[in-house]
Amino acid sequence: MTWAAKLIKHNSENRIAVYFEKSQDLIARIKQIEGAQWSQQKTVWHLPDTLENRERFKIKPLSYSLASPEGIVQIEKFIQWMRSKRYSESTITTYSEALKSFLIFYREKSVVEINNEDVIIYNNEYILKNNLSASYQNQIVNAIKLFFKTIRETKIEVDKIHRPKRAKLLPNVLSKEEIKLILDAHINIKHRMMLSLIYSCGLRCGELLALQPVHIDSMRNIVLLKNSKGKKDRIVPLSPKILEMLRLYFVAYKPITYLFEGQLKGQPYDNRSLQQVLKQAVKKAGITKPVTLHWLRHSYATHLLESGTDLRYIQELLGHNSSKTTEIYTHVSTKSIQQIKSPFDSL
C-alpha cells in the first residue's frame, strides 16, 4: 500500500490526514477505521489523532519506527509466506503491520528468544499503557500466533497466547417499517435497487459492488456471490419482487461488466457513493439513527430469525464460519421478548 500521512488541524481538532492514490480497496479499509472522515474542503481522508492511528500510519519518533535488522528480515519472510498461502493483500498488510509493532517493541531482543511472558509484558507495557483498543490487541495476537507458527526455532508456545476479552456488542437492527421507509425513499431506480438488494439478500457492501450480471440466476431465483469474505463462494435466494425490480433496472441501465457500475462503464460503483445513497435515503425517511449499510444486513438476519428461519440456514446465507457469530442475532430478536409480560402490568 502506497500512502503518506501527516498531522493536520481540522475544525480546530488534531487529526491525521492520509494521502493515497484513489483505490476502492484502500477507501474501504480507511472507512473501517473508527472516526474516519472525508474532508471535501481539504480533499483528503482524515482520522482521529490517537496513539493507535499514529502507530498504524507510522507517525512517531524515528528511533521508534524500525524493527531490528533481524526483525525486518522476519517480517519480509512472513509477508512472502502469507502471499504463498494466498492471503488477501488487506490481511497481509494488517498482519505485517501488527507484527512490526510487536517486533519494534522487542527490537533489542533476538526473535528466537521471545517467549510467552514477553507477549504479556507487551500487552501490559504497550497496549494497555497506551489505551489501545481490544480489537487492535486482537490483531496483534492474530499476527503473533500466525507468525510464530511459521518459525521453526522459537520459545513461544502459540496455543498459550491468550486473546483479549471482547466487548459483547449487539448488532444494530431496524424495524421492517424503517427498512421500508429507507428503501422507498429514492425515486432513482438504481439507488433503490442497490439498497433493496443489500437488505433482501443480506449482502456486505463489497459483495454488492462485486456482483456481475452473470451472478443473477433468474431461472433458479438465486444470487451467486463469488469469492466473498474468506474467499468463499455462496448462494442466496432471490426474491421474486427483487427479480422484477432487476428486470426494470436492466432495461434502464444496461450494465456491462458489473451489475452496478459508476460513471464509467465497466467500472464498479464507488463504495463512498453508495454510503451517500444510504445517507440520503435515511434523511428522506426521517430516521435519525446513525444507520450504516451493515445495519441492513443485520436487519435481514434478525427479520429472518423472527419469521422462523432456522439459525443454521441463516448462518449459511450470511456466510459465517461459526454458528457463534450468527447466534448474536438471537439477542436482538424481539419475537420471544415481546411475549414476556412485565410484572408491572399485573400490579
User: Active-site residues: which are they?
Assistant: 204, 229, 294, 297, 320, 329
* Bridge pairing between strands 13-20 and 216-217: unpaired
Radius of gyration of the chain (CA): 23
Q: How far is CA 346 from the centre of its chain?
A: 46
Q: How far is CA 123 from the centre of its chain?
A: 24
C-alpha cell read off for 120: 504479556
At residue 38, φ and ψ (nearest 5 deg) are: -100, 130
Q: Count CB-CB contacts under 10 A for residue 315.
A: 19
Q: Count CB-CB contacts under 10 A for residue 83.
A: 11
Give dist(CA 80, CA 225) in Å, integer: 29
C-alpha cell read off for 12: 480546530
Beta strands in the chain (DSSP E): 3-10, 13-20, 37-39, 44-48, 216-217, 222-228, 232-237
Rounded to 10 deg, the angle between the 311-318 and 293-306 helix axes is 160
Short-list 99, 103, 109, CA closest to 67: 103
Residues sharing a CB contact under 8 Å with residue 324, sequence separation 6 or more, in sequence order: none
At residue 97, φ and ψ (nearest 5 deg) are: -70, -35
Give dist(CA 113, CA 110) in Å, integer: 5
Q: How far is CA 241 from the centre of its chain?
A: 29
C-alpha cell read off for 67: 524493527
Q: How far is CA 143 from the centre of its chain?
A: 18
